[in-house]
Amino acid sequence: MPAPYVYRFGSQRTDGAAAMKNLLGGKGANLAEMCRLGIPVPPGFTISTEACTAYTQLGRQQGRDALLAMIDGEVREGVAAIEAEMGKRFGNAADPLLLSVRSGARASMPGMMDTILNLGLNDEAVAGLAARSGNERFAWDSYRRFIQMYGDVVMGLKPTSKEEHDPFEVVIDVLKTQRGVQLDTELNAADLQQLVQRFKSLIHSRLGRDFPTDPWEQLWGAVLAVFESWNNERAKVYRELNDIPESWGTAVNVQAMVFGNLGDSSATGVAFTRDAGTGEDLFNGEFLVNAQGEDVVAGIRTPQQITLVGSRRWAELAQVSEDERRATYPSLEELMPGLYQELLAAETTLENHFRDMQDLEFTIQEGKLWMLQTRNGKRTGAAMVRIAMEMLAQGMIDERTALLRVTPDRLNDLLHPVFDAQALKGATPIARGLPASPGAATGQIVFHADEAEAWHKEGRAVILVRQETSPEDLRGMSVAQGILTARGGMTSHAAVVARGMGKCCVSGAGAVHVDPKARTMTVGGVTWHQGDWLSLNGSTGEVFDGRIPTQDAELSGDFGKLMALADAHKRLEVRANADTPLDATVARRLGATGIGLCRTEHMFFQGERIQAVREMILADDEAGRRRALAKLLPMQREDFEGLFRAMGGLPVTIRLLDPPLHEFVPHDDAGQQTMAQQMRVPVAKIKRRVEELHEFNPMLGHRGCRLGITYPEITEMQARAVFEAALNVQAEGGQPFPEVMIPLVGSVREFNPQAAIVRKTADAVFAERGAKVHYLVGTMIETPRAALVADSIGKAAEFFSFGTNDLTQMTMGFSRDDAGSFLPAYVKLGIYDQDPFSSIDQKGVGQLVEMAAQKGRAVRADIELGVCGEHGGDPASIGFFHKAGLDYVSCSPFRVPIARLAAAQAAVG
């Protein structure tokens, strides 16, 4: 392979550029780019990934000799160039040049390889550093840190077992005990000098060789160690998990060290080109005079603000007077105005160049500014939106880039209440569960849904804590601030319903032991009683003791602009899963263009309806069932009217009854007694019926269209409610558009009789009223068989809506309600990349979706194709559905904005 292998960067000559990431790695390429922009960067050079590949192919000993032969000359020239620019000599005893050596692969591989700092120090150079800095302690501390890093990373002196402590730290602890001090910072220069001796002895005795004092030997050792690290276990595992090819190799960056702790004309700091918290277009950051980089973040000294504006804002918050601020905490702008102007110029150049908010690190060494790093800065969801929209308005980025800049899931930060950041700082979680439904909630614990309602009526904020929730808990859930369950996964009842309500929920917190009788919950021996305060973070799954104040979300103007932009680019429509007019109104406000799933059974639990439902279940014959259904009809009709009104002319997909009937009857003695009294039947009859309804696998049992097939009168009542409601709303001047959906179909012979009842009922109602509405009859595709025979079903059904919850459950053979006991382990082991109930399993379940979509389209060109499983709100899944050519996704109302953005990203991506 031809030279060069070494690419220099600095003020005199820069060989690389940002575009050369493959050859120079990400870090090396960006350092070179900064130099090209005329930004002052400590000079250095990058040894290319090709050198690493050549070395790796030859193996350790042969590789070492070959590599040295190959790059020795170029590296020596590189070091000479650094010496020339810094005016110092490598290995010089009076004023030594010190180097940092860092790995840098094409893709960032955090933690793969430690950095080596202060390379070039030895017993002579340390004296030079002490003299030059006038700070003996600093010089010896730098030296002992270097030996420690080098001994570990390059020489391999690490703990030999999990139980063993880091051998260097053990030596430090012994010395601290001998000196009677607690902290490293309490060790003085003489102590640190002693430590250097002990470290060297440790290396000699443990490794049988000496710590190298020749700077060149140090340098070669470090370079080879970085190349070796490409093939350490950690790196291999990381590569496998992230699909990074072994052939890439890593580059090595060798760079002059600069110090911010060489007196009062030195400083170090971090800065952001815009506010990472709010997104405001305001340069900001912190610095410390006479300090090392880690001091700024260590929190021992109070960092000062870089800009005067920032400094004044800080002083107001910290309640520091203007006089004290100016005297004790002046901004960099006031303290070093010239250097501040230089920094300002650099930040402007970098942001304009990279066209994104930059996170910068800098050091001022004896009055000279050096930029050490620039990278795209991490930011809050709110800042993401504001920065993207403002950069678009400022003409810095185009619409496509603006859309891709916002991570859809981060919109959650804007849509739900969040904890007060200050209050959260002092809180430690007592348990963790799944982040089932985002938001922050704080309230008093109750253990029963009816008690949640009662407490709510008294004006109290409650957190409903349950082992797991069931449809009976619905009303309690709807009034609670948040829901915590000890069992259940991401598609458990609690999780699905809470997401639908936009309510904070943490599910499956296994460490929480719930005793609903005693009205207590216990975590690790500590007990909470009814009425105690608890706080939940549904975005992280954390459970906190006590009361943490929350703040309401604000949908700012930039949010609206982003949504409008998304709508202009997306192809997929976004509908919402909504069961009530309130849900529907929220969904429309958040931009839904239809209801993709109304789970009608949710309406059955409200008020006296449950009694009519139970009467129907208990009835001995069809006539009895029809009597009960007649009571339900007006209630269902009213529900549907509400939905049609809320949705205007937009489609409303109404699914016929789906869950197994046992979900509607009480299973405990007390509940059965009450039911017997209310219905005036012997309790034995109730018990018998409940037993009859018991199923071993209710999810694969008597549910979905199987109910309508065996009890056609249920389908008839629901269809009548739909069409009567539609005609009533039409008579008011509305434009209802019902889409009636048959659940859990596996054969067209199940679909046909159900569709026939719907159509016949529609005709009957239309004839009675002398009016009509346009409607569709379609099916869910949620059994694997339905996907396989989608061509035959598609001939009869006007739309398909993929029920990817059940489709995942049945395709993978994982119970939606029980997978929590093994799925996390599966994901951890990498058997599946992620929870297939959260993000669609593209290779397996996804194949069925693609195939059914094609088969459907082949037999009915205008068939409407949608998704109403939980995946409809997952950005990665939405990308997949876009490619599969579906027409819409449907998700819980609060995920609608996320889905709109994800759909736009899929379209422009």
Which chain residues interact with ligand PEP by CB under 6 A?
A: 597, 599, 658, 782, 803-806, 868-869
User: Minimal distance in Å, beta carbon 855 to ligand PEP?
Assistant: 19
868 is a catalytic site residue? yes
Contact between 342 and Mg ion by CB under 5 A: the answer reads no
How far apart CA 89 and CA 84 sit, in angstroms, is 8
- The answer to whether residues 648 and 734 touch, using CB atoms and an 8 Å cutoff, is yes
Closest-CA residue to 303 (of 259, 338, 366, 260): 260
How far apart CA 114 and CA 466 sit, in angstroms, is 46
Which one of Mg ion, ligand PEP, none interacts with residue 293, CB within 5 to 8 A by kind? Answer: none
Q: Which of residues 765-794 bind Mg ion (CB under 5 A)?
A: 782
User: Minimal distance in Å, beta carbon 879 to Mg ion?
Assistant: 23
Structure tokens at 472: 């009976």
- The answer to whether residues 521 and 527 touch, using CB atoms and an 8 Å cutoff, is yes
- Residues that bind Mg ion (rule: CB under 5 A) add up to a total of 3
Which one of Mg ion, ligand PEP, none interacts with residue 594, CB within 5 to 8 A by kind? Answer: none
Residues 6+ apart with CB under 8 A from 618: 624, 679, 681, 685, 686, 689
> Which residue number, 365 or 653, has a Cβ lying nearer to ligand PEP?
653
User: Minimal distance in Å, beta carbon 487 to ligand PEP?
Assistant: 18
For the packed helices 748-769 and 712-731, what is the interaxial angle rounded to 10 degrees?
Answer: 40
Which one of ligand PEP, Mg ion, none interacts with residue 868, CB within 5 to 8 A by kind? Answer: ligand PEP
Annotated active-site residue in 52, 504, 868, 891: 868
**Which residue's Cβ has the minimum distance to Mg ion?**
806
Q: Which of residues 395-414 bind Mg ion (CB under 5 A)?
A: none
Amino acid, single-letter form, for residue 435: P
Which one of ligand PEP, Mg ion, none interacts with residue 597, CB within 5 to 8 A by kind? Answer: ligand PEP
User: Minimal distance in Å, beta carbon 437 to ligand PEP?
Assistant: 15
How far apart CA 6 and CA 219 sit, in angstroms, is 14
> Which residue number, 683 or 709, has a Cβ lying nearer to Mg ion?
709
> Which residue number, 541 or 803, has a Cβ lying nearer to Mg ion?
803
User: Minimal distance in Å, beta carbon 811 to ligand PEP?
Assistant: 11
The beta strand positions in 595-638, using DSSP E, are 595-599
Sheet of strand 99-105, all strands in order from the earlier edge strand to the far edge: 6-9, 44-47, 250-256, 99-105, 116-119
> Which residue number, 615 or 782, has a Cβ lying nearer to ligand PEP?
782
Which one of Mg ion, ligand PEP, none interacts with residue 541, CB within 5 to 8 A by kind? Answer: none
Query: End-to-end alpha-carbon separation of the chain, Å?
Result: 37
How far apart CA 19 and CA 23 sit, in angstroms, is 9
Annotated active-site residue in 493, 602, 662, 871: 493
DSSP-assigned letters across all residues of 138-173 = HHHHHHHHHHHHHHHHTT----SSSSSPPHHHHHHH
How far apart CA 889 and CA 873 sit, in angstroms, is 7
Which one of Mg ion, ligand PEP, none interacts with residue 218, CB within 5 to 8 A by kind? Answer: none
Contact string 795-814 vs Mg ion (x = CB under 5 A): --------x--x--------
* C-alpha radius of gyration, the chain, whole number: 34
> Which residue number, 543 or 807, has a Cβ lying nearer to ligand PEP?
807
How far apart CA 590 and CA 579 sit, in angstroms, is 16
How far apart CA 495 and CA 816 sit, in angstroms, is 11
> Which residue number, 543 or 705, has a Cβ lying nearer to Mg ion?
705
Which one of Mg ion, ligand PEP, none interacts with residue 599, CB within 5 to 8 A by kind? Answer: ligand PEP
- Going by DSSP bridges, is the β-strand pair 99-105/250-256 parallel, antiparallel, or unpaired? antiparallel
User: Minimal distance in Å, beta carbon 602 to ligand PEP?
Assistant: 10
User: Minimal distance in Å, beta carbon 816 to Mg ion?
Assistant: 9
User: Minimal distance in Å, beta carbon 804 to ligand PEP?
Assistant: 5
Burial class (CB in 10 A: 0-12, 13-18, 19+), 626: middle
- Beta-carbon neighbour count of residue 508 at 10 Å? 24
598 is a catalytic site residue? no
> Which residue number, 274 or 599, has a Cβ lying nearer to ligand PEP?
599
> Which residue number, 172 or 741, has a Cβ lying nearer to ligand PEP?
741
For the packed helices 669-679 and 609-618, what is the interaxial angle rounded to 10 degrees?
Answer: 90
- Structure-token match 């007196």, residue found: 263
Q: Which residues bind Mg ion (CB under 5 A)?
A: 782, 803, 806
Active site residues: 493, 868
